[in-house]
Amino acid sequence: MKHLYALISLLFLILVTACRQEFPQINPPEKSVALTLTDEFDAFWTGMNNSYAFWDIDPTDWDAVYRTYRPLFAKLKSDDESSRKKGYTYYQEMTANLIDSHYTLYFKDPTLPAISPSNARILKRPSLHQPIPVAHYQKTIPANYLSAGAVTGVDTSKSSPGLLVAGKIKNTNILYFRFPQFALSDWYADPTSPAQAVVQYVFDELQNPDLDGIILDLRGNGGGNASDLDFLLGRLIDKSYVFGSLRAKAGMGRLDYLPWFDFTVHAVPGARPFTKPIVALVDMFSISMAEITPMAIKALPTGNGKLVGERTWGGTGPLTQENVRYNGGEFSTSVLARVYTSSLMFRYKDGKIYEGIGVPPDVEASYNGVALKTGKDTQLETAISQIR
């Protein structure tokens, strides 16, 4: 019987040690050593495999990308210029259908332009138009639509200066506010910034009980600091509210996610609810925070928010500066200075995810370039009509 026990125990041990799969050795993309273009591909592919936040809904078959492109990279020579160019086109092809509309590949090689799948996607929109020129906000709107006393300021902190404009729509008590990006809290905190006076004007007007409505002109707004969500909208509510949910990666697996959690606008202490109409004016160049903020406006508990304009860009997933907190998002490799990608998925309160799609307006107001050249802003006029 002892022999039988020993035999059974031995069989058990053999089964125990033989039947499980090995754990793969996965190196962080940042620390990968790339001697060949295949190594470069491996680091990039691995980073995406483990850090990209949208695998749950993204149509790209990342395994197929591996099987297709790794052999192609293996044929390329790292010291050959034409091979490098070929490799660049492979990166374009591999990432073409990624739905993350923040997604941008920045190469360390300055001769290689950044790759942005969403940029290529926007160029295919039937309603594609040029962004509205800054001169329109600087001259036409103050002259044709705003009362005397409107204020403007230029943010010079960025490489491309941005224009802020605020004032009252002519013959109304409707507040108009245009800003190029979300850096409101930064501008407000900097008394030396020309933009500070514009933000101060807006906040002062928000205290005006005679205000009949607000138009936030977010056309061409490239997004920015998520903290502005509370900083701006938190002044228009007296109770915090949830307008959607976010989801972060839990682990290395493509489908390893933590549960959805609330995306909340927090009320600024002492703020009073603004119950008059608030219109967010958006276009296809309203990106990121310029999409999230209108969605939060639309979800205001007081029900006075509305989106006017065009379907937005489609980059609604928030980013954080480091990817440790949410176990996903941005990374780099030895050749990619930055794989710029969202840290979180955002699902709006209607249950839909607008990443890669864009947020549709409540009231459609198409771009009218012909009218714009004559000084007539039909989109802004539609926004005004929603309040009047």
Partner 1 sequence: MKNYSILSCFLALSLSVFSAFAQLSVGVQGGYVKNYLNTSTGYLVSTQYAPATGFSIGIPIRYSVNKWLAFQVEPQLIQKNYRLNRTGSLDGLYQTTTNQYLQLPIMGHFSFGGARLKGFMNLGGYAGYWATSTNQGALFAFSPQLEDETDESDALPDYLLQKFNESYTFDGRKDRRLEIGLLAGTGIGYQAGRYNFFVEGRYYYALSDQQKNYMINQIPRYNQTYALQVGCLYQLTLR
Binding site for partner 1 (CB under 8 A): 1, 5, 8-9, 12, 15-16, 19-21, 23-24, 26-28, 46, 49-50, 62-63, 66, 185, 225-227, 230-231, 246, 248, 250-255, 258-259, 261-264, 266, 318, 320, 324-327, 344
| Smallest distance from partner 1 to CB 224, Å | 11
**Residue closer to partner 1 (CB basis): 62 or 203:** 62
Residue 88 contacts residue 112 (beta carbons within 8 Å): yes
| Smallest distance from partner 1 to CB 271, Å | 14
Q: Is 344 helix (H, G, I), strand (E, B) or coil?
A: coil
| Smallest distance from partner 1 to CB 169, Å | 30
Residue 69: which of 48, 91, 52, 46 has the closest Cα?
91
| Smallest distance from partner 1 to CB 155, Å | 19
Residue 333 contacts residue 50 (beta carbons within 8 Å): no
d(CA 346, CA 357): 12
374 contact partners, CB below 8 Å, separation of at least 6: none
**Residue closer to partner 1 (CB basis): 109 or 262:** 262
| Smallest distance from partner 1 to CB 249, Å | 9
**Residue closer to partner 1 (CB basis): 28 or 133:** 28
**Chain position carrying tokens 């160029």:** 123
φ/ψ of residue 116, rounded to 5: -130, 105
**Residue closer to partner 1 (CB basis): 147 or 264:** 264
**Residue closer to partner 1 (CB basis): 244 or 309:** 244
| Smallest distance from partner 1 to CB 138, Å | 30
**Residue closer to partner 1 (CB basis): 199 or 387:** 199
Instruction: State the DSSP string of 134-155.
Output: HHIIIIIHHHHTB-TT-EEEEE
**H or E element in which residue 67 lies:** helix 62-74
The one-letter amino acid code at 78 reads S
